[in-house]
Amino acid sequence: MDEARRGGESSRGMRSSEMKGSAWGGVDLGGTKIEAVVVDAEGRPLGNARHPTPAGGPKEVVRAIYEALEDASRSAGLAPRRLAGVGVGAPGSVDSNTGTLARVSNVGKGWTEPYPLAGALADLVHGPVVLGNDVQVAVTAEYRLGAGMPYRSVLGVWWGTGVGGGLVLDGIPWRGRGAAGEVGHVVVKPGGSRCGCGRRGCMEAYAGRGCLELKARKAVKRGEKTMLLEWMKKKGRTRLTSSIWKKALDEQDAVATRLIDKAVLMMGVGLSSAINLLDVDAIILGGGLGTRLGVEYAERIHEAMRPHIFVPERQPPVVLAQLGELSGAIGAALLAEPPLH
């Protein structure tokens, strides 16, 4: 691609490290933090920065994204205006064509109407900005640079507070009409547990960390014994983090074990439905809980799928995400199309 055109100005006369086109920015916009990264032409991180997500409206959020990019650029020895392009992975309802973000509930004060986030950020970075879905870009990063590299087609399952998903089919991220990949809302039990989305029986209602915490708190109210909430208080947390769940499982806490066993069982149901429909080469397991529980649980989910797989002799593997906490930001940077020679 024509670097001068992408950057909007000529690169002549600049020092190599300062040329537009030698570095790309990526931002993972989350409810608590903004993770920014600057990558080279191969998608390798040159620098990164993490800022807290501000409590305000979209303008404040855009300002904070720019500042995180500034810091990430500085740590890479660049000015943010030297980025050839920037990609942003965001939760909520993303319209990549218009660069707008709508229905954001847990970023800043949240907003409902479409906000032109890409345009507003482009005015600050003086270059092109592309907007994408946060989980989809993380899955795309794993597909192109991480655990998905050996495969043609993958389903990414991001197991955290919710259960997000992303599809890459024959190399192309599949978003349908913009909302595809919601594997967390595959129905695993009609009329079952209440999900954060308001519906019943979704896979996320059994496996999402948010729903798991509600179930743990209910168990405590019923008088069941668990160390989960004590450890949470001891660590000065207000939420059950992935590491608290991990510790509880390691110490064979009865409530944690029962709830996670059920989560694994239900992920087996939902993910095999997805495989029977799509027959992709592999499932990539990521997200806070997926990464923390690691390969043992990837294997357990694989086992839980076995009874439901239509072509059992070709059941795809469940592999762990490899790019770690930067996968979302790196994936976002890929939206800006570094060449990845």
The length of the chain, given as a count of residues: 341
Q: Considering the rule CB under 8 A, would residue 277 count as an interface residue with a second copy?
A: yes
Which burial class, exposed, middle or buried, applies to 3 when counting CB atoms under 10 A from its CB (0-12, 13-18, 19+)? Answer: middle
> Judged by CB under 8 A, which stretch of 59-67, 225-233, 237-245, 302-310 contacts a second copy?
302-310
Question: Which of 131, 167 has the CB closer to a second copy?
Answer: 167
Nearest approach, Cβ of 308 to a second copy (angstroms)? 5
95 touching a second copy, by CB under 8 A: no
Euclidean distance between CA atoms 90 and 277, whole angstroms: 27
Among 22, 73, 273, 327, binds a second copy (CB under 8 A): 273
Degrees to nearest 5, angle at CA 337 with 333 and 341: 105
Contact 54, 61 (CB under 8 A): yes
214 in contact with a second copy (CB under 8 A): no
- Which residue lies nearer to a second copy by CB, 14 or 169? 169
- As a whole number of angstroms, the distance between CA 68 and CA 48 comes to 8
Minimum CB distance to a second copy, residue 10 (Å): 37
Q: Determine the interface stretch with a second copy among 52-60, 78-86, 232-240, 266-274 (rule: CB under 8 A).
A: 266-274
What's the closest the beta carbon of residue 88 comes to a second copy, in angstroms? 21
What is 251-311 written as a DSSP string? TT-HHHHHHHHHHHHHHHHHHHHHHHHH--SEEEEEHHHHHHHHHHHHHHHHHHHGGG-SS
Q: Which of 287, 310, 98, 137 is nearest to 210 (CA)?
A: 287
Q: How far is the CB of 330 from a second copy (least distance, A)?
A: 25
Residues 6+ apart with CB under 8 A from 337: 1, 24, 85
Q: Which residue in 130, 269, 293, 334 binds a second copy (CB under 8 A)?
A: 269
Residue 190: CB minimum distance to a second copy, A? 5
Query: What is the spatial distance between Cα 327 and Cα 140, in angstroms, rounded to a whole number?
Result: 9
Chain residues 169-208 in contact with a second copy, contact rule CB under 8 A: 169, 174-183, 185-190, 197, 199-201
77/178 with CB nearer a second copy: 178
Q: Which is nearer to a second copy, 43 or 89 (CB)?
A: 89
Nearer to a second copy, 234 or 314 (CB): 314
Q: How far is the CB of 15 from a second copy (least distance, A)?
A: 43
The 8-class DSSP code of residue 180 comes to T
Q: Minimum CB separation from a second copy for residue 223, in Å? A: 28
* Minimum CB distance to a second copy smaller for 68 or for 285: 285
8 touches 69 (CB < 8 A): no
Q: 309 Cβ partners below 8 Å, 6+ apart?
A: 272, 275, 276, 315
| 102, 227, 229, 265: which one binds a second copy (CB under 8 A) | 265
Give the Cβ contact number of residue 160 at 10 Å.
20
Contact with a second copy (CB under 8 A): which of 224, 314, 325, 340?
314
Give the footprint of a second copy on residues 134-153 (CB under 8 A): 153
| Euclidean distance between CA atoms 64 and 253, whole angstroms | 40
Beta-strand relationship, 24-29 and 33-39: antiparallel
Which residues from 242-261 bind a second copy, rule CB under 8 A?
A: none
Nearer to a second copy, 197 or 214 (CB): 197
The residues, any chain, with a CB within 8 Å of residue 214's CB and separated by 6 or more, are: none
Q: How far is the CB of 176 from a second copy (least distance, A)?
A: 3
Phi, psi of 111 (to 5 degrees): -155, 160
Sites of contact with a second copy (CB under 8 A): 153, 165, 167, 169, 174-183, 185-190, 197, 199-201, 265-266, 269-270, 272-274, 276-281, 307-308, 310-311, 314
